Each structure stands twice: as C-alpha cells, then as structure tokens.
Structure 1
Amino acid sequence: MTSVLIVDDEPMLREELQESLELEDFEVTPAESVDSALALCQSGSFDIVITDLKMPKRGGLELIAELKGRNYPARFFVVSGHGAESNREEALSLGATACFAKPLDVDDLIDVINADA
C-alpha cells in the first residue's frame, strides 16, 4: 500500500484530502506543520509527500529542500493557494513532481499520482 504524508495547516483540506486518498487505498498520515512532518519522516517512511506551499513558520519549499537534502526517497506534490508562479517553479526545481492550485481538484491530484507511479 502506498503511504502518503499530507502537510497542510488547514484542517478541512487535510481531512478532505485524507478521506479521498483513503478511498483510493492510500495509507494516509496528516501533519499540520513542517516540523511535525519532519518528525514523522524521521520515525517512518512515506512514498508520497503532499505539502501546502505557504504555512505559518515554515512552508512546503523548506520541507522539500530539507527532505531532499536527506535523500528522502518520496515523491513530492505541492498545493498552493497563492498564485506565485515563481514559488511553483522553485518547488519543481527542488524536486517536486507537480504543483496544484487551490481549490484542489482531488481527482486531478490522484490522476497525476497514479500516472507518475
């Protein structure tokens, strides 16, 4: 079973995404911040990390950069409610597989995850 870590400071989005992915037979773990995500990544391994771009304190770019620096073997997907194209480009250059705008179309995300598998 594919394990997914969802990192987003918005509880409603985390829950919606978790429910949708679990219906598709993904094993999902939610995290509300970069710090909690990093702690979870130290204690376990995830195949996929889905992260919000902008969060309080630290954002998705920092999470990707830190995990890539550790050679963490996950695929990274970024979700952004902010239209900054440069941030999306930076996420892709750091190693994100794809970036999605909010409001998130979960079916599109699942399609891209499955196509990239």
Structure 2
Amino acid sequence: MAHILIVDDEPLLREELQESLELEDYEVSTAESGPDALELCDVMAFDVVVTDLKMPKMGGLELIRKLKETGFGGQLIVVSGHGAESNRADAMASGAVACFAKPLDIEELIEKLDAIL
C-alpha cells in the first residue's frame, strides 16, 4: 500500500484529501506545515508528498528543496491556489511530477497517483 503525505495549511483540504485517498486504499498522513512535514519524513517513509505551494513558515518549493537535500526518493506533487505559471514552472523544475491548481479536482489527483504508483 502506497503511503502519501499531504502538506497543506488548510485543515479542511487536508481532511478532504485524506478521506478521499484512504477510500482509494492509500495510507495517508498529514502535516500542516513544511517543518512538520520534514519531521514526519525523518521518521516515516512516503511514496508521494503532495504539498501546497504557499504556506506560512515554509512554502512548498522550499520543502521540495529540503526533501531533495535529505535524499527523499519519493514523488512530489504540488497544489497551488495561486495561478502564477512561474510558480508552477518552478515547482516542476524543482522535481515535482505534477502541479495542480486549487480548487483541486481530487479525481485528477487520484488518476495521477495511480499512474505514478
């Protein structure tokens, strides 16, 4: 069973994603910030990290860079409520395999997860 980490500062989105992905038989953990996500990644292995781009404390791009520095070998997916194409391009250049805009189409995310896993 694939283990996915959802990183987003919006509690309702985290809960909705967790419930939807668990219904698809994924094991899901959540973090409300980049620093929290890094702590979880130190103690657990994740196949995929799905992170928001804009968050307080540490944004998604910085999280991706720090994960890469630690040797994270899983896949990275970015979700952005900010439609700036440059941010999305930066996310893809940083190693994300996909970048989705908010409001998130959960079915699209599930299709992408199924494809990469």
Gaps in structure 1 of 5+ consecutive residues: none
How much does 1:5 deviate? 0.3
Q: TM-score, normalised by structure 1?
A: 0.98
Q: How big is the shift at 1:74?
A: 1.1
Please state whether the residue corresponding to 1:83 is helix, strand or coil.
coil
Deviation sequence 1:67-107 (CA, Å, 0-9, x none): 11222011000000001111111110110000000000000
Q: 1:106 — aligned with what?
A: 106
Deviation for aligned residue 1:51: 0.2
1:4 CA drift (Å): 0.4
Query: Helix, strand or coil: the match of 1:66?
Result: helix
Q: CA deviation at 1:60?
A: 0.5
AA paired with 2:27? E
Assess if the C-alpha contact under 8 Å between 2:8 and 2:14 holds in 1.
yes
Gaps of 5+ in 2: none
What code does the residue aligned with 1:104 have? L
Query: How large is the Cα RMSD of the aligned pairs?
Result: 0.6
Which residue is equivalent to 2:86? Answer: 86
Q: Distance in 1 between matches of 2:85 and 2:94?
A: 14
TM-score (norm. length: structure 2):
0.98
